[in-house]
């Protein structure tokens, strides 16, 4: 698997509908959002398809401010403990619900988190080397097949976990945002290659 992601979205509308409707991106707000994440001035570069934007280069933030939705992608967000992002995410969310998905295929690591009303509602982080790194809050519906054994690892002998973290990470992407990087798409998914996100590099 080659899934890599460090993406947070602040939502007031269903991300699926926002992406499918092709709503116009506010580039000024997107730039200001990128500068908040990078902590410095930034200049806009070429836009990047969403499937690549979710794991931008170091020193780059891919951000999009749309009606009902803001997207933030930056490697700075890829923390083993998503709870450590709570203060920053809550400030940027400004009362909105926020969803985050973080994963890296080289480590088989995946994590996700949900914030609402400025509080962390759910955070989970896991890798075969470290085991469960963080587990806060109640399980979400998309997690059920993994905990019940329906998504067990079958092709690797003595895998250290009962399920593959990257599969869980992709299901979090599907549940939260309506797309996946790897796996089987269903009717709820849109193609992330068809939506471009503005890219900003720190000055």
pLDDT tens digit string along 71-114?
Answer: 999 999 999 999 999 999 999 999 999 999 999 999 999 999 99
For residue 105, the model assigns a pLDDT of 94
Whole-angstrom distance, CA of residue 84 vs CA of residue 186:
33
Say what the pTM is: 0.95
Whole-angstrom distance, CA of residue 34 vs CA of residue 1:
28
pLDDT in tens, 32-48: 999 999 999 999 999 99
Number of independent structural domains in the chain: 1
- Joined together, the tokens standing for residue 47 give 């836009």
Domain that holds residue 177: 4-202
131-136 and 196-202 strand pairing: unpaired
For residue 127, the model assigns a pLDDT of 96
Average pLDDT estimate for 142-167 = 89
pLDDT of residue 1 exceeding 50? no
For tokens 């410095």, name the residue. 40
What rounded mean pLDDT belongs to the chain? 95
For tokens 């992601």, name the residue. 5
């Amino acid at each position: 698997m080659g899934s890599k992601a460090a993406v947070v979205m602040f939502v007031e509308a269903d991300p699926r509908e926002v992406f499918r409707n092709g709503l116009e991106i506010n580039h000024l707000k997107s730039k200001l959002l990128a500068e908040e994440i990078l902590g410095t001035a930034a200049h806009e570069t070429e836009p990047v398809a969403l499937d690549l934007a979710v794991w931008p280069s170091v020193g780059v933030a891919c951000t999009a401010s749309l009606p009902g939705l803001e997207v933030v992608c930056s490697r700075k967000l890829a923390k083993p403990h998503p709870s450590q992002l709570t203060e920053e995410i809550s400030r940027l969310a400004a009362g909105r619900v926020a969803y985050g998905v973080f994963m890296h295929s080289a480590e088989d690591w995946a994590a996700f988190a949900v914030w609402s009303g400025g509080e962390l509602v759910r955070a989970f982080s896991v890798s075969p080397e470290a085991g469960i790194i963080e587990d806060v809050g109640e399980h979400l519906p998309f997690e059920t097949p993994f905990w019940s054994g329906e998504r067990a690892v079958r092709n690797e002998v003595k895998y250290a976990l009962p399920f593959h973290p990257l599969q869980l990470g992709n299901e979090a992407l599907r549940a939260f945002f309506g797309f996946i990087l790897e796996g089987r798409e269903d009717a709820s998914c849109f193609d992330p290659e068809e939506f471009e996100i503005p890219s900003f590099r720190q000055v």
